[in-house]
Amino acid sequence: MSACPFCGIAASRAAAPIFAEDGETLAFADLTPQAPLHALGIPKRHIEHFGSLKARDGELLGRLAQTAQRVAEQAGLGTRGDRVVCKIGPDAGNSVAHLHLACSVAGNSPGQRARRRAPTSLVAGSVTTSP
Ligand SMILES: [Zn+2]
């Protein structure tokens, strides 16, 4: 395979704090976080981007969404301004061509800034997912 950094993490050739893992997906801390909590959920199998998904990948996409959801729930993130983003290509700000969902705390209101300091409940390895 390529020098894809996310494939390296999925294959344990590169280190990253792991938040959640199942047989087909993995969530880990972004190594260049843009927020106090910035986790990335990936399929372990290399899929370049959202547009590369095939019809047979529907179950995998559901598992990926569940993994991202569990990380967000464990971190205490909710529905008040946190975000899950899937970028496609460099013009969207995506720097790694491996499908991923980025989960982070969003916003700059005073309440959101206070909450950005709050998600301390998420500790690498503390989230479990079903196989
Ligand atoms: Zn990859």
Token digits for 94? 């995506």
Residue 15 lies in a domain: yes
pTM above 0.85, yes or no: no
**Angstrom distance (rounded) from CA 77 to CA 65:** 15
In this structure, are residues 20 and 71 in contact, taking their beta carbons and an 8 Å threshold? yes
Between the CA of 3 and the centroid of ligand 1 the distance, in Å, is: 8
Task: Report the SS3 class of residue 10.
Answer: helix
Between the CA of 123 and the centroid of ligand 1 the distance, in Å, is: 25
* Owning domain of residue 45: 5-117
Between the CA of 71 and the centroid of ligand 1 the distance, in Å, is: 21
Active site residue 46: no
Number of domains in the chain: 1
What is the DSSP secondary structure assignment for residue 6, as one 8-state letter? H
| Tens of each residue's pLDDT in the chain, 131 residues | 469 999 999 999 999 999 999 999 999 998 888 877 788 999 999 999 999 999 999 999 999 999 988 887 787 766 666 788 899 988 998 889 999 999 887 655 455 555 554 444 454 544 444 44
Q: What share of the chain is helix, strand, coil (3-state, %, to 5)?
A: 30, 20, 50
CATH classification at residue 54: 3.30.428.10
Between the CA of 97 and the centroid of ligand 1 the distance, in Å, is: 7
